Structure 1
Amino acid sequence: MPKLQANGIELFYDIQGTGEPLLLIPGFACDYAHWDLLMPSLVAQYQVIRLDNRGIGQSSAPDSPYSIKQMADDTAILLEHIGVSRIHVAGHSMGGQIAQELALAHPEKLHSLILLATFASCDRRFCSIIETLGDLPRILDPEAYFYVVLPWAVSEDFYATPGAIEAALKFQMEYPFPPTPQGLYHQSRAIINSDTLDRLPQISCPTLVLVSQQDILTPLKFSQELAQGIPNAELVILKRGGHDFLIDAPDAVATAMLNFLAKRTK
């Protein structure tokens, strides 16, 4: 799998499929593999580019402050490196924050924007949760941390699915590139310190805002704020899945994404 030097770090990326390019940016504590359940549907129609943000997976995790703008710059360097001049961009949670900054800094590069379970500005409750999730890896072992995070991430249906929690835990514990405490800490602070609310009207590309009505971490009001702030944005509310509907309701997410992209694909 390829890496490049970007902004003083090694940045890991993966490219699969053919067609118009589609960039997938993962969220907090998640690397490129977090999109795996959507990949068969997306790769069938698009050239899908994924990356590990700084602080996670196979990219560098320096023990120094990160910012969302910095991670958007990392992503822009990746697009330059692989020779992509115009692209569809989708970001989940923190990845949606990065996608917003990318759209604001490089409007000429974005053909369309998909913001999944994300926000422009966090309120005090959300900031407190993310601050705690950034602090806990320094004092909890990985299995305990998994059980703390899971209720914020998935829906009641996921809990009710036989074997789902056990399979998710097995994947987490056996994954060869686990997150580091310092990477999670610095990602969490980048999330808290980002705010695009006043700049949303500057986003000029076609935009889909996608959220689940069961999302308790980034609730519907955050997505409504995005859709109201971005000119002509389309808001789609799924009935299935929680915050992490990439694993909780991947088919519904892929369908919503493909329906939106079909209207913007040559």
Structure 2
Amino acid sequence: MPTVDNGGCELYYETEGSGPTVAFVGDVGAGAWLWGWQHGAVAGPYEALTWDLRGTGRSDAPDGPYDVRTLAGDLEAVLADAGVADVHLVGAGLGGMVALAHAHRYNRAESLALIGTAADGSEVTDRLDDLRADPEDRGALAGSLSAAFAADLDEHPDVRDRIVSWRSEDDAGLEGWDAQAAAMRGFEAPPLYEVTDPALVLHGVDDVVVPAEAGEQLAEDLPRGEYRAVEGGHWCLVETSDAVSDALVGWLDEQSDGNGG
């Protein structure tokens, strides 16, 4: 499986499909499982690229705290190693911040899709801490999901248990989680008027980690931002996966057509 070294940190990534590249950037602590639904929707007509942020899964976990600029540099190393010239960036939570920083600093982004994202770490509530759980503690993983979803997953034990299994296999350990959370809380967006790529901002109406108002403001401040509310909480991309996937694929098709893709 492909890896790339960025300043001594080995980063793991995977690609599937062919066509314009869509790179997914995950939330605090979350493994690539988080993108399972959207990955399946885009892989084929697009090349879907997923990677483990430093601190997560199969990538190295150097001591933290981390910052978004470093994570954006990691993303650039992955894209360069994968031979990607132009990319559609899709980020959730922390990953949306990384996508914003990357689009501002580098010249690869064709479009942005930002899910549950704020332009400033001060918008992130204390409920982020409720997502923190040791991957070896299945009870803690199950309890932490109350911050991620609007629905009570205890009423859907089969779904809850599948997510817990994925998290136990792929998510960051506590030190990696803390290092990434520091990056999310410490984020200050670059001047948003300089991020001129088309940007779709999707936000769960019941997000308790990053309030929906922060997403609305982000879309308003981006020169080519478009806001769409969806049902669900912070991980609406899982909770209402069909709605998010449909919106994402429609958006990508519009951007690819507009760019001759």
1:179 aligns with 2:166: no
Supply the distance in 1 between the matched residues of 2:130 and 2:157 (Cα, whole angstroms): 29
Equivalent residue for 1:212? 204
> Is the contact made by 1:89 and 1:114 (CA closer than 8 Å) also made in structure 2?
yes
Once the two structures are TM-superposed, the CA of residue 122 in structure 1 deviates from its matched residue by 3.1
> What SS does the corresponding residue of 1:263 show, helix, strand or coil?
helix
Once the two structures are TM-superposed, the CA of residue 262 in structure 1 deviates from its matched residue by 1.3
> What SS does the corresponding residue of 1:172 show, helix, strand or coil?
helix
> What SS does the corresponding residue of 1:60 show, helix, strand or coil?
coil
> Is the contact made by 2:31 and 2:171 (CA closer than 8 Å) also made in structure 1?
no
Supply the distance in 1 between the matched residues of 2:20 and 2:115 (Cα, whole angstroms): 20
> Is the contact made by 2:114 and 2:202 (CA closer than 8 Å) also made in structure 1?
yes
Alpha-carbon spacing, 1:132–1:193, altered in 2? closer, same or farther (3 Å): farther
1:28 aligns with 2:8: no
Once the two structures are TM-superposed, the CA of residue 241 in structure 1 deviates from its matched residue by 2.4
Supply the distance in 1 between the matched residues of 2:182 and 2:151 (Cα, whole angstroms): 29
TM-score by length of 2: 0.91
Once the two structures are TM-superposed, the CA of residue 46 in structure 1 deviates from its matched residue by 0.5
Give the counterpart of 1:190 among 180, 183, 190.
183
Alignment-mate amino acid for residue 205 of structure 1? D
> Is the contact made by 2:202 and 2:228 (CA closer than 8 Å) also made in structure 1?
yes
> What SS does the corresponding residue of 1:163 show, helix, strand or coil?
helix
1:151 aligns with 2:146: yes
Give the counterpart of 2:194 among 188, 196, 202.
202
Equivalent residue for 1:256? 247
Percent identity between matched residues is 25
Q: Note the residue ranges of structure 1 that are not aligned, 5 or more in a row.
A: none
Give CA-to-partner distance per residue, 1:191-228, whole Å, 9 cap, x none.
111111x6111101111000121222212111011011
Q: Note the residue ranges of structure 2 that are not aligned, 5 or more in a row.
A: none
Supply the distance in 2 between the matched residues of 1:232 and 1:124 (Cα, whole angstroms): 21
1:228 aligns with 2:220: yes
> What SS does the corresponding residue of 2:121 show, helix, strand or coil?
coil
> Is the contact made by 1:130 and 1:192 (CA closer than 8 Å) also made in structure 2?
no
Supply the distance in 2 between the matched residues of 1:242 and 1:93 (Cα, whole angstroms): 12
Give the counterpart of 1:161 among 156, 161, 179.
156
> Is the contact made by 1:55 and 1:183 (CA closer than 8 Å) also made in structure 2?
yes
The size of the alignment, in residue pairs, is 257
**Correspondences of 1:38-77 after superposition (within 5 Å):** 38-77=38-77
> Is the contact made by 1:7 and 1:74 (CA closer than 8 Å) also made in structure 2?
no
Once the two structures are TM-superposed, the CA of residue 45 in structure 1 deviates from its matched residue by 1.8
Superposed CA RMSD in Å reads 2.0
Alpha-carbon spacing, 1:218–1:203, altered in 2? closer, same or farther (3 Å): same
